[in-house]
Amino acid sequence: MSFLFPAFLIGLAGLSLPVLIHFIRRKKLQIIPWAAHRFLIASIKRNKQRLQFEDLILLLLRCLLLALIVLAFARPFFKSDLKPGADAAAAGGDAAQVVLLVDQSASMGWSDGVRTRFDEIRDLAETELSALPGGASVAVIAYSDRVLPVIARPTRDFALVRRELARLHPVTRGSDLAPALRAALDLFDTLPRAPRRIIILGDRQKLAWQSREALDTQAKRATDAGVTVTFRAPAGDAPVNLAVTRLEADTADAVSGQPVRFFVEVLNGGTAPASQIRLTLSPDGDTPAAEKMIPTLAPGARMQAEFTLTFADAGYHAVTARVPSDSLAFDDTRTLALRVTAGVRVLLVEGGPPAGSRTRPGFFLAEALAPVPPARRPSFPIQVERISAAEFSAARLTGIRAVVLAGAPPLSAESATALDHFVRNGGGLWVFPAAGDAVAGDPLAALLPAETGAATPQAAGAITPAGPPYAHPIASLWEDPSNGTLTSVIIRRHLPLTLRASADATEKPEVVVKLADGSPLLVARPLGRGRILQSAIPADTVWSDIPILPVFVPLVQRGLAWLQGGASAPGALSPDEALTMRVDPALLGREFRVLAPGRTGTPVPAGRVELVAGQPSVRFTATTEPGLYKIFNDTDTTPLAVFAVNPDSDESDLTPVDPARITALTHEAPVAPGAKPVASSFHLPTWLTRDLWRLLAGTALVLVLAELLLAQRFSRSK
Amino acid sequence: MAGPNHRDLLDPAALNRAESLGFVARTIVEGYKVGEHRSPLKGFAIEFAQHREYTPGDDVRHLDWKVLGRTDRLYLKQYEQDTNFVAHLLLDTSGSMAYGSGKLTKLHYAKILAATLAHVILGQRDAVSLGLFGNNARQLFPRTDTPQRLPWMLETLAAAEAAGPTNLADHLARFAPAIRRRSIVVIMSDFLEDEAAVLAVLPRLRFQGCEVIIVHVLDHAELELPFKDTVRFEGLEGEPTLTTRPSDFRKSYQEAVQAYCTAFRRGCERMDCHYILADTSQPPAEVLSTYLAFRNRLHS
């Protein structure tokens, strides 16, 4: 016999309770001076034997009652008696320890119209549990792209296991089997030696098995530890699963009335080709504003599509890309939040010759910022105000979104302080040097991402920017050669830039574009809520030909868009990815509220604006649920930020794993999907291999009644 | 328990009932003073008793001349003489009398009975003596027929305390010779010692012509053993301590007590003694009035 909770056996010490109670009651007994002793003594003598017998019966009964209660709590069971030669571990046999690894990734929500794969997983789990003999203990670990211990230690309480399995449901996350397998083996390491078994209950999605090296490591570990690994999967494949796996806007901050380009990617994650796929793009949940028809999509194939939408109103807008609904619903849509602004005012501060001269350092910049004929510039969303350095003052920054310094001489300390404040509160700053050596003692230098050295001498040959890959979003446009190339730019001289060290990781400078020799050409850094760009070359044609090349306009436009993005929320996050967004310092300590996806009405308080890395920020972590989130401050009805949470797009690929991979892990012949495991054989009757606590509890109840009756009977005067 | 004040011993209710019923000698007592009670000494007083044949030497003044005239025989007229009686109130003050489950201990209860009787008897101009037997010593309050001495007697009674063991039979045996006349002896005790020895003394008292009244004072708890939980019984006269659960053998105990009381009562009745079982849960007045009413019925 073994016990499910042997620790409860400590309660057997309670057998001394009746005796202790007897002695305690003796201590509290009534003391009576008495005269008629002769009758007492006579009566006691006459009844002594009977009383001793009755007391003994009651004592035994009460001790037995306590013992039964303790045993019932300890949950005893008879060990099953396996047939000789049976593989205990394989059979999940005698006192075997079993870990159920339950796949709860989003792909488990695939439905045949009636039941989901997760429902079938539950059935498989039930089958496995029923096949386990008495004495086996079961732990449950749910996995997706994270590991969730559901029953962290093996238990013999199968009712508990069933309850927990019933509570589990698919989550909108990816899947990775290796960490779950490692967690199960780690658990076995903490348990006493016994036959061990891991039962993986999941679909055969290739994604879960992609960590080949990690899985091989765990498979070896399982073999070394004598752990049997079994894989059970629901029957059938997923023929078609259309998914929107990407939705991006070409800009972080769109301008009202101006077209915005969106990139959408569609995947056929099933095993059969799909045809006539209607891909739509809907702003703000409305009816589709744009659509495209994809004639056919092979299994595993992806299709890119571009859409252009124009937003009439400023503010946050939600854009949803959608494919027709199929058996796996979580990836049929993808949402993006986009901030649309009414227009951008850019202050271009120049040095050098008088206004109107083509040789002024900001001439090409002004043209690139507003690349339209002069007649259309008043209605163009980017309004450029050109001033000389001498005209610059803090008052000029009112309503300005970005400041571009083009060959401007060093500003005064007051002006530098004003710019520092401007950037930290969400403004953008782009610094182009003058064609010449950097002037020492520039009060603005401390803000910039890099320190400048003396200008390089005239290059003998052509120096060009380095080619792809480009990690920074400003330069990512030229990842695609069809958008042109930066390497056509010829640079004759430049200022060497040395990135500054930053204690704050969020304000760490980075290189946007570097030269072919590795020296930075364009560097960037966030500062407070704003962003700064610093160029190694002037924006004129003295040191390079870039202002007259086609790449200059998109570079300036993308740079400006990036500069404005500092105060914006990211358009989309992954599930459980925390949102950290810098906000106005005036909001520090105030409460912020969140309207989660699918909710309407009043937003609920979700936290307070706190200092994150020294900056007043909204930090929101409850992003498990996919959809659109809106964050408000404690008073305004206009959202501080809107962002979307989209599930892992890789999870949409339902391509099955190579069966050989499963065999390599489990050392089992491929099992027919949905096949039932073979139950172990027992010599003991089934009821004896189950928990005996009910029997014990019932007996204890009978004993309670017997004790009450006898105590009542014995207490009658005789 | 502190001894009661002597005024407390006179229970007004008991006194009222006892006085209304009087305390009439059940048998003829040998008085030493003309009183309300018949004397065994038949003299020639007021109330005619019987005729007796004349024998030579008799006083011819008592010849019944009418009988002589009618029958020509010589008969003398005899008259009953009213006389006082002496009531000896003997109380057991051994340690066992200190027990009381209610307001009154057995000794206190006995004191009330004794005080009430003394008050009534003295009020009838009869005589009372008081004996307190306990702790192997005895204290006697001499015989008196003066009501003015009642307070002193009561003070003696009130001062008595129950303590230690006693041998009541021995006390009685030593007390008996001191009773010179046939009188009433009232013995109040719980008789928890050797009742056979007590019964052995009674014939001597009866032989002396005394009327003996046994007042068996027992606490209600001693009769019923009503305790529920485990109880430690500590002896009042040096008996060993007993820790037991009375409910286990209550019935057996009650039967034993009843058997004892019955046997003792029968022993008393064989000696032609009155036996009164005084349960301390009953008011003393009720016990006393019941008994006195019984005596009156015997007289009538």
pLDDT digits (tens, 9 = 90+) for A365-405: 888 988 888 888 888 888 889 888 888 888 888 888 899 99
Residue with tokens 């007649």: A375
Which chain B residues are closer than 8 Å to A34 by Cβ?
Answer: 99, 233-236, 239, 242
Calculate how close chain B gets to A51, using CA atoms only, in Å: 7
What are the pLDDT digits (tens) for A560-574? 888 876 555 566 788
Question: Between chains, do A37 and B233 touch, taking CB under 8 Å as contact?
Answer: yes
Q: What is the DSSP letter of A304?
A: E
Predicted confidence (pLDDT) at residue A471 exceeds the cutoff of 80: yes
Domain ranges of chain A: 2-78+692-714, 97-237+656-689, 344-567, 572-645
Q: Please tell me which of A138-147, A626-635, B166-175 the model is most confident about, judged by mean pLDDT.
A: A138-147
pTM, whole model, 2 decimals? 0.50
Residue in B222, B105, B278, B280 with CA at minimum distance from that of residue A38? B222
CA A569 – CA A591 distance, rounded (Å): 18
Which chain A residues are closer than 8 Å to B190 by Cβ?
Answer: 35-36
Calculate how close chain B gets to A61, using CA atoms only, in Å: 18
Write out the two tokens for A445: 């230098």
Domain ranges of chain B: 6-27+86-293, 42-80
Q: Where is pLDDT greater, at A514 or B178? A: A514
Predicted confidence (pLDDT) at residue B68 exceeds the cutoff of 80: yes
pLDDT bracket for residue A198 (50, 70, 90)? very high
Q: What is the mean pLDDT of residues B131-159?
A: 82
Same fold, A344-567 and A572-645: no
Which amino acid appears at position A465 of this protein? P
For chain B, the average pLDDT equals 80
Question: Between chains, do A43 and B222 touch, taking CB under 8 Å as contact?
Answer: no
pLDDT at residue B8, as a whole number: 61
Around Cβ B216, how many Cβ atoms within 10 Å? 21
pLDDT at residue A653, as a whole number: 85
Question: Between chains, do A51 and B249 touch, taking CB under 8 Å as contact?
Answer: yes
Question: Between chains, do B222 and A717 touch, taking CB under 8 Å as contact?
Answer: no
CATH number attached to the domain at A572-645:
2.60.40
CATH number attached to the domain at B6-27+86-293:
3.40.50.410
**Which of A37, A42, A714 comes nearest B239 by C-beta?**
A37
**B214, B268 contact by CB (below 8 A):** yes
CA B197 – CA B199 distance, rounded (Å): 5
What are the pLDDT digits (tens) for A648-676? 888 888 888 888 888 888 866 555 554 44
What are the pLDDT digits (tens) for A443-468? 888 888 998 888 888 777 778 888 88
What is the fold of A344-567? Answer: Rossmann fold (3.40.50)
We find that the CATH architecture of domain A97-237+656-689 is 3-Layer(aba) Sandwich (3.40)
pLDDT bracket for residue A93 (50, 70, 90)? very low
CA A513 – CA A468 distance, rounded (Å): 9
**Which of B233, B237, B239 comes nearest A32 by C-beta?**
B233
Which chain B residues are closer than 8 Å to A45 by Cβ?
Answer: none
Which chain A residues are closer than 8 Å to B260 by Cβ?
Answer: 39
Question: What residue spans of chain B are helical by DSSP H?
Answer: 12-21, 65-71, 106-123, 150-159, 168-175, 195-207, 220-224, 250-270, 284-299
Show Cβ contacts of residue B195 under 8 Å, excluding neighbours closer than 6 positions. Answer: B260, B263, B264, B267
Calculate how close chain A gets to B95, using CA atoms only, in Å: 8
CA A496 – CA A534 distance, rounded (Å): 11
Please give the share of chain A, as a percent, with pLDDT higher than 90. 14
pLDDT bracket for residue A504 (50, 70, 90)? confident
**A333, A572 contact by CB (below 8 A):** no
Question: Between chains, do B243 and A29 touch, taking CB under 8 Å as contact?
Answer: yes
Show Cβ contacts of residue A389 under 8 Å, excluding neighbours closer than 6 positions. Answer: A349, A350, A351, A405, A408, A409, A411
ipTM over 0.90: no
Using alpha carbons, list the distances in angstroms from residue A585 to A170, A339, A428, A618: 40, 21, 17, 11
pLDDT bracket for residue B276 (50, 70, 90)? very high
What are the pLDDT digits (tens) for B186-245? 999 998 877 888 888 888 888 888 889 999 999 999 999 888 888 888 888 778 888 888
Q: What is the mean pLDDT of residues A618-633?
A: 86
